[in-house]
Amino acid sequence: MREGKILGSCIHQRPPETSMNAPDVDQAAGETIREYGGSSQFGESDKLVAALDFIAETATTIRQFEEQASLALMRAQEIADVVREDLDRAELRAKCAETNLRLTEDQVEQMSAAIEHAHQEIEALRSQLNSKTIKLAASEQRADDAEATIERIMDVIRAQLPAKLDVPSE
């Protein structure tokens, strides 16, 4: 009886199993102890049989744990394979994105250079336009001056023309 209590208390000191389907060693040990160790009417051979039964049950339980662990390991391996495939796909997408980013950066650089060249051409055209505008203004001023001079000449001619018209012809 004392051995059963000690064995039972050692079993109960272990942390509880995390798997919902795991065999319950505590329950099996408790049942074995109650079946064989709970009465003083059993002799040493009965205790030996009880201990052997408990060892057999424990071995069965361990095999069940091993089977469940093997299944869990296979599931974990399958999950790891899926995760690895996802990671490989993600790495491939990342490499594609990096390549596209580099191409886009090159295109942006080329466009920036083209924009800068266009700005330079626009500035050159503005400079030419300003120069032409100044020349046009000067030409218009000269034309206005020439027109004013012609107008004055015409006024002088008109002023003298009637006087010459009054002169008798010879």
- Tell me the whole-structure pTM to 2 decimals: 0.42
Q: Which residue has the higher pLDDT, 14 or 136?
A: 136
pLDDT, tens digit, for every residue of 95-129?
999 999 999 999 999 999 999 999 999 999 999 99
22 in Cβ contact with 68 (< 8 Å):
yes
Computed on alpha carbons and rounded to an integer, the radius of gyration of the chain in Å comes to 56
Beta-carbon contacts of 12 under 8 Å, excluding residues fewer than 6 positions away, are 26
pLDDT, tens digit, for every residue of 125-148?
999 999 999 999 999 999 999 999
Which helix (H) or strand (E) is 103 found in, with range? helix 44-165
Q: What is d(CA 150, CA 144) in angstroms, rounded to the nearest whole number?
A: 10
